[in-house]
Amino acid sequence: MTTEYDLWKIFPRMPKKVEIGDITIRDGFQHEEKYISTAAKIFYAEEMILAGCKEIELTNLGNPAGIPQFRDAGEVLKHFASERFLKRIARKGIKREELTFTAVSIREPAVDTAIEMKKEGYGPDRILMMVSTDPEHHFANSGTTLTQYWKEAERCIQKARDAGIKMCGTVSTIWGSPISGATELKDAVEFTKRWFEIGAYDIEHADHDGSASAADVYRYCSMILDAMPNPEAHLLHLHETKRVASASILGSLQAGFTRFEGTLGGLGGQPANFLDDTPVRGTGEYYYKDPRYVGLITFEDLLVQIDEMSIEHGYDVDRVLWLGEKMEKTIGRRLRSEAVYNGRTEKGGHMEFARPGLSRLIEKVGEKTGQRTPSDWGGKAVLPDPWGPEMWK
């Protein structure tokens, strides 16, 4: 039997091109307990666009009393509708219609805010509402029952559509809930169908707390594409609490997913319940023993992983790694990206680390340049029979 080595032949759904969205300044910053300035939010979003990002979350339109990190939502959105921004991207050959700006709008008042902003000329292209397959987790996030929320979402989708805004429906706690524990994958598949039934544009499939394993991600993503076979309609959102999300990315690629998102430095997680010197509501007490070591999949590491698999992504990788370095200064601590520190795999190596004298030694002992085995050995290795452990017995 001959083993097939080509992943794309083993997994025929596996893509050669993907889209990676950035949600740093929304999901990433929502977890920070210090206020991130409007200037910083604009800088990172704009620079990520110039680095190749086409889908970007800009803010959360929820009540600032609960999440004051986004009290500048209108100011941020207005910048990305400004002539200054439009001229800057035009100079780089980027067209505004190529970009999708998203704002999170968990409840109906936030959806109404998005619609008013759209009427005034600076609203988002896409908004997002969220259900969890765990009713307890859903209640903690939205304050409603699932039945109440589905009816609210149905109204909001129609209103948003009439205003020219796409609605993304998120399905969360797919692989487990930090409140109620284990969940059923089939429930998330059913919820995805429900979103499309009431008119959602696309679906974000969310591992809310890093519960997913690679095997279960492959299983679920395959179930989704079996039931609804359009990769453009599905987006994978992975959190990272155990440092295993990169394996889940591979599992999702093998299943055929093509859309992903992450945050610079792996920032993000549950909305902060403290900002600067003041406790705030957030979504209540943190689910984690140590909230410093949670977050989303690290954008830089995800991008390098995709790039080194020779999958097309459209980013300037070095520019993104540079932004990751700057983000550590903005946040004021070491973040979770390894690629920022260790870089990409250099195909040309790092000859500055080579010890001097190898060429002289080769000449001295009479070997040929490039010789790797003794000259009296055969041209190719021949396995003895028996070999290895059997031979030693």
Can you read off the two tokens belonging to residue 204? 């974000």
pLDDT in tens, 99-139: 999 999 999 999 999 999 999 999 999 999 999 999 999 99
Burial call 55-66: b when 16+ CB within 10 Å, e when fewer: bbbbbbbbbeeb
pLDDT in tens, 218-274: 999 999 999 999 999 999 999 988 888 999 999 999 999 999 999 999 999 888 899
pLDDT of residue 41: 98
Q: Shortest CA distance to 246 belongs to which of 271, 202, 212, 278?
A: 212
Q: How far apart are CA 326 and CA 43, in angstroms?
A: 11
Q: Shortest CA distance to 105 belongs to which of 47, 44, 53, 155?
A: 155
Q: How far, rounded to the nearest angstrom, does the alpha carbon of residue 225 sit from its chain's CA centroid?
A: 19
Q: How far apart are CA 111 and CA 32, in angstroms?
A: 24
Q: Answer yes or no: are the C-beta atoms of 103 and 60 closer than 8 Å.
A: yes
pLDDT < 70 positions in the chain: none
pLDDT of residue 252: 98
Fold exhibited by the domain 8-342? TIM Barrel (3.20.20)
